[in-house]
Amino acid sequence: MRELKQFVEVASRRSISAAAKQLNISQPALSRAIQKLEDSYGAPLFVRNGAGVALSPYGSALYSRAVRILPALDEAREEIEQLQGRAKAAIRIAAGDLWGLAILPAVVREFAMTHPQVVVQVEIADEGTRLEGLRNGVYDLVFGTFSARYGPVVQVEFQPLVRQATFVYCDKNHPLRQSALVSTEALIARRWISPGYEDDAGPGRLGRLSRDFAVRVDTMMNALLLLQQSPFLMSASSGFQALFRTFGIEALAIEDFGQADDSGVIYPARSLDRVAVRDFLQLARQTVSELALPTID
């Protein structure tokens, strides 16, 4: 079953190196596991390409069944261990960086105090991984913005919890901080850091223009550390404003903030059958209201 889980991770991420990082194993070890699985089925499961890997017809056949089997087996194992008193119940959550860094930590801390019998598993993931996880039954709750990509793939519910805009951030001593209002042209003239999620994201007209990215990283925290005492700019949700200030990072006053978006929780209806999931969601709603996150209409 371990090799089957590794196979699903590679298929979901379309990259052996990215899957190995997520699984916390070496890339050669993961490649050997995939080769062993291919040998057992007597067929190539992946097609290698310049961008990574893609499922072969044989791999697609295995994948469509593995993503249904593995969650059911995990749930069965957890239920047996809980009945035996050997394990806690688990809630599996995926979040975009806004939720993972600025909101969810407070929810998880409070939930852990009131629900000692439940362990919360949180993964920071991009939208594609969150969508795949919902479709495969990997996640009970997904926090982020809802897009049209979800509808054709999986039946889910969406509860908006906060309305957020995209801000432009920089070091508190950045020269642009001296301007009362920064034009889009002045922003385009600067170099940028990409935090690894939606490189082209940006407020208003800026999001439709090409920018000069100096650095691309895989997590918001790495981007935040690079932004300190640098001449670079970065786009990110307005919900980060309070957190970023603790690192000496401030939002710029810009002429075009663009449209705000609803962000909240996405989940399959069956998730709410579990009391612990309902309790976590209720606590998330309460925490968002208490944080008084900045909003743009």
Q: What is the CATH number of the domain that holds 125?
A: 3.40.190.10
Exposed/middle/buried for residue 5 (C-beta within 10 Å: 0-12, 13-18, 19+)? middle
In order, the DSSP letters of 118-172 are EEEEEEE--HHHHHHHHHHT--SEEEEE--TTSTTT---EEEEEEEE-EEEEEET
In a domain, 78, yes or no: no
- Nearest residue to 197 via CA among 213, 227, 217: 217
Nearby residues of 198 by Cβ (< 8 Å), 6 or more positions away: 126, 127
pLDDT of residue 83: 61
Looking at the structure, do residues 101 and 175 belong to the same domain, yes or no?
no
How many structural domains is the chain composed of? 3
- Asked whether 149 and 131 are in contact (CB, 8 A), the reply is yes
* CATH classification at residue 43: 1.10.10.10
Looking at the structure, do residues 273 and 157 belong to the same domain, yes or no?
yes
Looking at the structure, do residues 125 and 152 belong to the same domain, yes or no?
yes
Looking at the structure, do residues 1 and 22 belong to the same domain, yes or no?
yes
The reply to whether the predicted model has a pTM over 0.75 is no
Q: What tens-digit pLDDT sequence spans the chain (297 residues)?
A: 888 888 888 988 889 988 888 888 998 999 999 999 999 999 999 998 877 899 999 999 998 888 778 777 776 776 676 566 554 678 899 988 778 888 888 899 999 999 988 889 888 887 778 888 888 788 999 998 887 776 666 788 899 988 888 899 999 999 999 998 999 999 999 999 998 765 567 888 888 888 999 998 878 888 999 999 999 999 988 888 888 999 999 999 998 877 888 889 999 888 888 888 999 999 999 888 776 555 544
Can you point out the beta strands (E) in the chain?
46-49, 52-55, 89-95, 118-124, 141-145, 157-164, 166-171, 191-194, 212-216, 234-237, 249-251, 261-267
In a domain, 79, yes or no: no
Looking at the structure, do residues 44 and 149 belong to the same domain, yes or no?
no
Looking at the structure, do residues 94 and 160 belong to the same domain, yes or no?
yes
Q: What is the distance between the alpha carbons of residues 47 and 43, in angstroms, rounded to a whole number?
A: 11
Looking at the structure, do residues 19 and 34 belong to the same domain, yes or no?
yes
Looking at the structure, do residues 149 and 270 belong to the same domain, yes or no?
yes
Q: Which of 23, 40, 69 is the last residue of a domain?
A: 69
Beta bridge partners of 166: 237
Full domain range(s) for residue 211: 166-251
Q: Which of 217, 232, 251 is the last residue of a domain?
A: 251
